[in-house]
Structure 1
Amino acid sequence: MSRRYGGSPAGTVISVIADIAALILILWIALYLFDANTANNSVDWVHNAADWLSGWSHNLFTIHSADWRTVVNYGLPALVYLFIGHAVATGVNRS
């Protein structure tokens, strides 16, 4: 794993956490767009985790289309986690 991420162990942990957070958010977008069964425990867990991770960005923009609202409300935090997480990891790796 350290070859993929490189750098210090702390930087690697930060990058992995950012990647997992973004993956959960992107997974929820895909599950929503493909009309996954929300009664399924796995789908419900992903939805709850994505809600928690994206709580700060919900309804940031008023979009009438439910599909686009989901993409923006969950996609924006995924990008922020990736950008900030990897920027912090790069800073940790340089020090």
Structure 2
Amino acid sequence: MGWLWAIIVGFVLGLIARAILPGKQHQPLWLTTVFGIIGAIVGNAVASWIGVHDTRGIDWIRHLLQLAGAVAVVGLGDMVYGMVRGNKRQMT
């Protein structure tokens, strides 16, 4: 059941990250989900490194770090996807 939650959370985080990033992202929805999953993993790793542990309530810091990781991975992933697909865009 853990893999299903990973896909759902990755999908939601990927969509939120795409909404936060300026401009149009060109990667397909399935790749956005993968980038969201990777971003959530990165956010969890950063949360562990800085000492954020599970709390009794909603763990807002961990969720914000997951979202920040998803924004970073979706943004970088879109640039790489554009270069691989042949869309020569400037990296600014």
TM range (shorter): 0.3 to 0.5
Highest RCO, 1 vs 2 (Cα 8 Å, sep ≥ 6): 1
- TM-score for both structures, normalised by structure 1: 0.36
Higher Rg of the two aligned structures: 1
Higher helix share: 1
